[in-house]
Amino acid sequence: MGSLGDIERYTFRERVMHWLTGLTYLYCLATGLAFYSPHLYWLATMLGGGPTSRFWHPIIGVLFLMGTLWMNNMWRRDMEITETDKRWLDRVENYVANRDNLLPLSERFNAGQKLFYWLMVYGALLLLLSGIFLWVPEYIPRQASWIRGVMILVHEIAALATIGGFLIHIYMGIFFVPGSMTAITTGFVSRAWARTHHRLWYMRVTGGTPPQE
Amino acid sequence: MSNGPLQIKAISGHAGPVPGRDTSRDYDVAKLIDVTTCIGCKACEVACLEWNGYPFRETVFDNTYQTMPDLAWNYYNLIRFNEYVDGDGTLSWLMRKDQCMHCAEPGCLMACPADGAIVQYSNGIVDFQQEHCIGCQYCVTGCPFNIPKFNSVTKKVHKCTLCSDRVGAGLEPACIKACPTGCLHFGSKADMKELANQRAKQVREQTSHKNAGVYDPAGVGGTHVMYVLHDVEHPERYGGLPKDPQVPLMVRLWKGPLKWLGDIAMTAGVVGLVLHYVRYGPKRVEEEPKKPEPKGEPK
């Protein structure tokens, strides 16, 4: 796939894994927002009604966590935050303002992607942990009913945190970084794309030596 | 439209004024339970089952006169039984009819996310509409009285309706109708409150229960089911009636400030991203230079 000279950025397995996590998250987001706000309850209506959404939300949520664990198995080494990443994050305003030449060079994932990754991994764990209590509250004895209230709060805060990351992720994937959507659907990026956004990774996979910092 | 009961305006062939003409009264309904005259006969439990069409459940014996340990999705009304021995060794049999309190500020309704699953009528009745219920049981978390009960087969939550179907037709609730001692009363909230205060005064003056009083807790805005208790200072002796019931703090936080913060943050996030795109636009890919030039990191 891809035109001549393109570089494979995501393998087939990685793409399946990404879309499993992404689409299951999207479903949980839509149904979750419906339960969160009366103004968004129409989302549940569109997705088959309130009871159907309530039934599937936790089950799809478990699939989302499984996707996340699979992702963790594949990507956690690529996602380790390094000293370079910390320097990148110190100057993140340059990334935001498209002054990328003022930033340390990135490996396969840049520091922003790594932060988003860890936000989603820990967010998913918290969501599942608190979600179990909301899934089958009838098994929690009345004496411990305060746990349900606490877990609703934890679920909400964890959800809001992941929503923040998710909004940025969607915005960047679709609008801010052209080429990333093709990368995660077809698996390939152009050499120039790889060189621009992930210079160290580009050097590594094309056999070049990274420039001295 | 008037939400009051039908009031006669004119009567044919009637001497004198029309009784009740030009008077108005609150149409808030209330149930008053005078626990001091309850004998624990459970006629109200039976009447409740009969009216609502539920079969009588198997009872659970746990060494008290209580039918079973707790309310159930098809058992809205339970006489809670407690043997209480006070400091000087006096034994009391405390019997309290437990059911939905029909709070003026219902925690179940506040917590419920499903459009139309819980309604509060202008007469004060809080009613569950099972066809809109999604089975999340947030109402169970929101209720300070531990009333709503989940049916795990239909995934719907049920509770006492204060016989809204009977009250709507001008009848009193089934439990009231069945009570043989007159410990249950039904009428407007103001009338019931007055009756309750009279009875509590009588108990204080004519018996040894000097702390007798009316239970109409302010923490939930008052309730449309009230009790006269022998000792209003210790409602928890009557099978765990809370002394100062409140909608749980977590529910108030989550439906209040956190909801606002979340709404603002999400909206600001979307607006911010749009503005960002308009201000900075997409990242551009630089073409590879013809001759590779070593490029260090600018400090």
Alpha-carbon distance B94 to nearest alpha carbon in chain A (angstroms): 22
Structure tokens belonging to residue A93 = 């305003």
Q: How far apart are CA A163 and CA A165, in angstroms?
A: 5
Alpha-carbon distance B260 to nearest alpha carbon in chain A (angstroms): 10
Counting residues of chain A whose pLDDT is more than 90, the rounded percentage is: 77
Of the candidates B115, B113, B78, B99, which has an alpha carbon nearest to the alpha carbon of residue B227?
A: B99
pLDDT tens digits, B26-83: 678 999 999 999 999 999 999 999 999 998 888 888 888 899 999 999 999 999 999 9
B142 shares its domain with B89: yes
Cβ–Cβ under 8 Å, residues B84 and B94: yes
The answer to the question of residue B123 being in a domain is: yes
The overall pTM is greater than 0.90:
no
The answer to the question of residue B285 being in a domain is: no
Alpha-carbon distance B98 to nearest alpha carbon in chain A (angstroms): 16
B157 shares its domain with B237: yes
Structure tokens belonging to residue A140 = 């929690």
Q: Provide the pLDDT for residue B120.
A: 95
Q: Provide the pLDDT for residue B11.
A: 82
B276 shares its domain with B185: no
The answer to the question of residue B17 being in a domain is: no
The answer to the question of residue B129 being in a domain is: yes
Range of the domain at B174: 29-247
B181 shares its domain with B162: yes
- Residue contact A149–B137, C-beta within 8 A: no
Is A34 touching B (CB cutoff 8 A)? yes
- Residue contact B282–A177, C-beta within 8 A: yes
**Which CATH number covers residue B196?**
3.30.70.20
How many residue contacts between A and B have a Cβ separation below 8 Å? 131
Residue from the list A175, A193, A212 with its beta carbon closest to the beta carbon of B277 = A175
B108 shares its domain with B134: yes
Residue from the list A35, A149, A163 with its beta carbon closest to the beta carbon of B136 = A35
DSSP, residue by residue, B19-37: TTTT------EEEEEEGGG
Domain A7-206 has CATH 1.20.950.20: yes
Mean pLDDT by 10 residues, chain B (299 residues): 60 79 73 95 95 90 88 95 90 94 96 94 94 95 95 96 92 94 93 95 94 96 96 93 94 92 96 95 80 52
pLDDT band at A1 (very low <50, low <70, confident <90, very high): very low
Helix (H, G, I), strand (E, B) or coil at B187: strand
B138 shares its domain with B270: no
Q: Is residue A173 pLDDT above 50, yes or no?
A: yes
- Kindly state the average pLDDT of the residues A180-196: 92
Is A8 touching B (CB cutoff 8 A)? no
Q: How far apart are CA A168 and CA A180, in angstroms?
A: 13
Number of domains in chain B: 2
The answer to the question of residue B289 being in a domain is: no
Structure tokens belonging to residue A173 = 């994937």
B71 shares its domain with B102: yes
